[in-house]
Amino acid sequence: MPILTLVPSGIKTEVAPGTNLLAAILAAGEKLVSKCGGEAKCGACHVYVNEGRKSLSKATKPEHAKLDEIVGVSSKSRLACQAQMGEEDVTVEILSFV
């Protein structure tokens, strides 16, 4: 199974392909706020995907729309509640400025 690595904590965990990234991050013991129940409405689950971006599910229109409203968005940005793990290892940065 692919490995999800979280930075800066350094937590590593195996995650089954198709698993929601937010759920995987929380299951790994990391704190990440979800204020909208994972509906791409709050932006609180904004993370940077430093490696393995292409293996994640593609961003949907609602995710793009929400990201457009968020401060600090970069080409590495995803909403963790909207992204699903693929077949490759992924490194996700939990953002301290959110």
Q: In the complex, which residues of this chain contact ligand FES (CB under 6 A)?
A: 34-36, 38, 40-45, 66, 79, 81
In whole angstroms, what is the distance from residue 68 CA to residue 77 CA? Answer: 10
In whole angstroms, what is the distance from residue 69 CA to residue 16 CA? Answer: 31
In whole angstroms, what is the distance from residue 32 CA to residue 23 CA? Answer: 10
Min dist CB 50 to ligand FES, Å, is: 19
Of 10 and 96, nearer to ligand FES (C-beta) is: 96
Min dist CB 67 to ligand FES, Å, is: 9
Contact 27, 12 (CB under 8 A): no
Min dist CB 35 to ligand FES, Å, is: 6
